[in-house]
A and B are shown apart, each in its own frame.
Chain A
Amino acid sequence: MPAEKLIRSIKLIQLNLKSMGLLYFIPYVFLFLILPLSTYISLTSGTAKEQCFLNSYFQIQMFCPFFAVWWTLFGFREFSEGKMRELLLVYQKSILKELIIVWVYYILHMIIMLVLYLCLFGFNYFHSMMILTIQSFAFFSVGISLSFLIKNIALSFVICILYELIGMFGQIDILQPISMLSLSFPQNFFDGIVPYLFILLVSMILLIFSNLFAKKYA
């Protein structure tokens, strides 16, 4: 039975993502084209390898976690807004399970991208995997919670973009307390993870409560 349920969820995810059309490929463009290309240009333009390693790390932090919202927000938009919403709610009360599967699917893409960095440039970013995963989860949670609460995908996405811009300029002292950006590269898998555990906890609570709210106030 659990296997059947998983197959059913995967089938639903597949059709939801297919409904995105070309928009589905946007994260691929960033993960596998723009980010590696930017690192390659930086390396070939004479930047020191160590500096290039750190610059790429900041770029990865800026773009990878953010795109965790893409497939979950736009692939499942009909559950939050649109003409199908009412009908979908009759047949499926919650899509949280499917959304989490899509998030895991995105994390797998992120891992492939890190493997690509290791193979192409010899940059090993796997020590930052925990931080990147929590950052991705935070974006995923905020994006989904907003779409559940305000029932408007575009606005939820804009709020995520605004936060992303804050993250980019997070090195400005006044904005640092609300930035998720890790300014130093972790020495091992769990290095520097403590502040992120709080973010993880808040994200999980937010996701659970917004899901309950969405079910109650459909």
Chain B
Amino acid sequence: MLKLHNCKKIFKKKTALNGFSCEFDQGIYGLLGPNGSGKTTLMRCICGIMDTDGGNIESDENIIGYLPQNFGMFKTLTVYEMMDYFATLKNIPSKTKEEEIKRCLELVNLTEVMNVKTKGLSGGMIRRAGIAQAIMGDPNILIFDEPTTGLDPEERLRFKNLLKKIKKDKTILISTHIVSDVEAICNQLIVINQGKNIYQGSLEEIRSAAKNKVYIVSEKYEDQLEGNYFIKDRISKDNENFLYVLSNSKIKFGEPAEPGVEDGYLCLLKN
């Protein structure tokens, strides 16, 4: 459905994409990577906003639904007019346009504010309107750049439920740095670092990347930690403080722990 082969993008002195290759089938893909790793550039190249400087992107879809990181709207137009604007841009036939706009607004729970000017919307509502415009016209490829940023927990839950409703037969790519969102939403994961695809697989597989590398260590042993290790968290249990440590070598005085997706992701980055 969507194939990227050896994609390169260079901005003056910075290489944003450095031979990125990947294949996307139907499903929800989480794109994880540290700041500046090339996530947004990759999404912009897939959407056609930017041309790559090398490699190629193959897609059998003409229209891609896209939600950028910074989504804004005309402040003087109503939500319905704004959706009408995007429907026109997406070439949705005028016969079905009204029905399609209402369907999308209903999916994101914005029907009630349909006739309200967009300047009167909250940040969360604007984000939802952004999601509505992306799914309008039922595109088979949906790309969301940091979709949950700025959403409160209730809105995030709503977004996750919405994805469950629309995911059928679609390729959905979500860029985020919130690992818990990836765990809750995605069934495939791609880790990008320095413009390269350093990992692609299921959530289970990425957890296994941290197998035997996660330890819970009493804080009193902190000074005795040696080698290549990383303290991810500090936790309290039964009036005692513990460290959540990722380490390539075995920690004798630590208790092995079950790794999570974030642990696997951090292990990939640290290696």
- 14 example contacts (A-B, Cβ-Cβ < 8 A) are as follows A8-B88, A15-B74, A18-B76, A78-B72, A84-B74, A86-B68, A86-B70, A87-B67, A90-B48, A90-B64, A90-B66, A91-B63, A218-B49, A218-B50
A20 near B89 with CB under 8 A, answer no
Nearest to A93 among chain B residues (CB) is B48
Nearest to A22 among chain B residues (CB) is B76
Kindly identify which residue among A8, A18, A84, A86 contacts B91, using a CB–CB cutoff of 8 Å.
Answer: A8
Scan residues 1-44 of chain A and give those whose CB is less than 8 A from a CB of chain B.
7-8, 11-12, 15, 18-21
Nearest to A88 among chain B residues (CB) is B89
Scan residues 86-102 of chain B and give those whose CB is less than 8 A from a CB of chain A.
86, 88-91, 94
Q: Does A122 contact B (CB under 8 A)?
A: no
**A54-B171 Cα distance, complex, nearest whole Å:** 66
Contacts of B49 in A (CB 8 A): 86, 89-90, 218
In the complex with contacts A87-B66, A218-B49, A18-B77 CB distance below 8 A: yes
User: Which secondary structure dominates where chain B touches chain A?
Assistant: loop
CB of A105 to closest CB in B, whole Å: 17
B70 near A83 with CB under 8 A, answer yes
Contacts of B77 in A (CB 8 A): 15, 18-19
Q: Does B44 contact A (CB under 8 A)?
A: yes
Contact code string A73-84 (vs B, CB < 8 Å = 1, else 0): 000001000111
Measured CB to CB, the residues of B under 8 A from A are 44, 47-51, 63-64, 66-68, 70-77, 81, 84-86, 88-91, 94, 133
Scan residues 70-112 of chain A and give those whose CB is less than 8 A from a CB of chain B.
78, 82-84, 86-93
CB of A151 to closest CB in B, whole Å: 14
B68 near A87 with CB under 8 A, answer yes
Contacts of A84 in B (CB 8 A): 71-74
In the complex with contacts A86-B49, A90-B49, A216-B51, A12-B88 CB distance below 8 A: yes
Contacts of A91 in B (CB 8 A): 63, 86, 89-90
Contacts of B81 in A (CB 8 A): 15, 18
Q: Contacts A21-B76, A88-B89 given; 17 further ones with Cβ under 8 A?
A: A11-B84, A11-B88, A15-B81, A15-B88, A18-B77, A18-B81, A19-B74, A83-B70, A83-B72, A83-B73, A84-B72, A86-B49, A86-B68, A87-B71, A87-B133, A91-B90, A218-B50
Nearest 9 interchain pairs by C-beta: A83-B72, A19-B74, A91-B89, A86-B68, A21-B76, A90-B47, A15-B85, A90-B66, A11-B88
Contacts of A20 in B (CB 8 A): 76
Nearest to B93 among chain A residues (CB) is A4
**A83-B44 Cα distance, complex, nearest whole Å:** 15
**A93-B48 Cα distance, complex, nearest whole Å:** 9
**A87-B64 Cα distance, complex, nearest whole Å:** 11
